[in-house]
Structure 1
Amino acid sequence: MTTLFTSVFPLLAYLAYNIIVPLIERARPSLSVIMNMQRRRWVANATRRESPFDAILSGNIMGSVSFLASTSVLLVLAVFAVFGQLTTLMEALESLSLERTYSVLDVQIHLGVMLAMFVLAFFAFTLSLRQFNHFCIMLGALDHDRVTTDEEIDAITQMNGLGARNFNSGIRAYYFSVSTVAWFVSEWLAVAVCLVTVLVLAHREFFSSAHRTAASAAVIAARLRQNPGAAVNRDRTDPPRGNL
């Protein structure tokens, strides 16, 4: 029973993390929430320009998502290949395991957990890719001959945010899958690595330097939006900075 718990624990932790973090974000904005503010600025600025700049940015994002989605397929196929090499795997585990010898059923169940993690990552990345594709279409459909309404900007931003949320979900599946590899060495090592992964992800989302930097940028942007003349006045009053 213990072996089954430690085997499934990374998958349960991954699912719980995706449920709990949005609840925490209601009280403390995460890095993802802060970046959603920048996404809205992106869309708002895109409504005022006609250039390939936004298409290039969107293409770069979709390229990264597509690469990770393809990698997920390869990992799924790799796990299926391991199912056909259980004898070789069991021989390797006898020399690798530090605590006990796993049974064939234990290994099969754990491979199923790993397969589930990579399948979830694949679906998350492909859904993200589809949503970013919708975002590109909505961005390209903007009519630059009229002023875009706030409701339309919010809708396009929300589509971008959905793509980013599913992309983050796929990345998290990769992170938590590291602990499934540690299980082959020690079942409790998998639990320890999983808990460390939760701490690392929580730090990156809520307490990292990237979070502070993005929050500072969002505050500056909000101030400039409330007082548009501040930037102009600053440019006029600041002395020129030449080489000394």
Structure 2
Amino acid sequence: MTSTLFTSLFPLLAYYAYNLLVPLVEKRRPSLSSIMNMQRRRWVSNATRRETPFDAILSGNIMGSVSFLASTSVLLVLAVFAVFGQVPAVMDTLGTLLVQHSFTVADVQIHLMVMLTMFVLAFFAFTLSLRQFNHFCIMLGALDHDRVTSEEEIDAITRMNGLGAKNFNSGIRAYYFAVSTVAWFVSEWLAVVACLVTILIIAHREFFSTAHRTAATAAVIAARHREKLKEGEVRVSGDGGF
């Protein structure tokens, strides 16, 4: 019973542990998300200098994706609730799938609660992300193009966008770790293995993937371009001085 409970809770514990450890790792090696935060600031900075529907279209696309996943989370929550009323039938089905048929009705009910918790966490993460992206759109739309936007205001709008992205990533991770809970129905220790593999896959995507290298390259190129512009401005101001 103890090992069964541990393997049921392991994906949920791993989800929380990963979300807590990533910020610590980011202090030593920037993640893909932290690199994209630089691009978010460039986006906001450029949006202050243009009066086109381009930024509204981009924001709408992002919010559409978040809204879709939030709606999917609701369907998954309802599906798990439906399974609660069919536990005996589920047990009969598991008898044909399990490597070792040792789960009790209580074990299955506890595991269904873990699955429900994962999908509820995903729902709250996505809806919070949707709300924060909505705030971002309002802040972006409130920009006054008749004056130069201060760096502090750009930073504040960028942080709101970053918060939305952070919670969106949290919801996606809940989906990833929920896959491990499905493996539990085949074998309880297979869920642990699937969870560890999930951690490796997510960590690779976040810190060592091709997308990470590409985003880092783009950030370096943008930084060099800004430095050249600053050097050019310094030379012009120096040439025009007395």
Residues 101-158 of structure 1, C-alpha deviations (whole Å, 9 max, x = no match): 3100000000000000000000000000000000000000000000000000000000
Aligned to 1:147: 148
Give the drift of 1:100: 2.7
Matching of residue 221 in structure 1 with residue 228 in structure 2: no
Aligned to 2:107: 106
Figure out how many residues of one structure are paired with residues of the other and give that number. 231
Give the drift of 1:229: 8.3
2:204 partner amino acid: H
**TM-score (structure 1 length as normaliser):** 0.93
Kindly indicate whether the alpha-carbon contact (under 8 Å) linking 1:93 and 1:101 is maintained by their aligned counterparts in 2: no
1:190-209 to structure 2, matched below 5 A, reads: 190-209=191-210
Aligned to 1:46: 47
The SS at the match of 2:96 is helix
Give the drift of 1:230: 9.4
Distance 1:80 1:38 in 2: 41
RMSD: 1.1
1:132 partner amino acid: F
Give the drift of 1:228: 2.2
2:218 partner amino acid: A
Aligned to 2:240: none
1:1-244 to structure 2, matched below 5 A, reads: 1-228=2-229
Distance 1:162 1:51 in 2: 25
Moved more, 98-107 or 192-201: 98-107
Give the drift of 1:87: 1.2
The percent of aligned pairs where both chains have the same amino acid is 79
**TM-score (structure 2 length as normaliser):** 0.94
Runs of 4+ in structure 1 over 2 Å off: 228-231
Residues 41-99 of structure 1, C-alpha deviations (whole Å, 9 max, x = no match): 00000000000000000000000000000000000000000000111100001111002
Structure 1 unmatched runs, 5+: 232-244
Distance 2:78 2:231 in 1: 56
Distance 2:53 2:219 in 1: 25
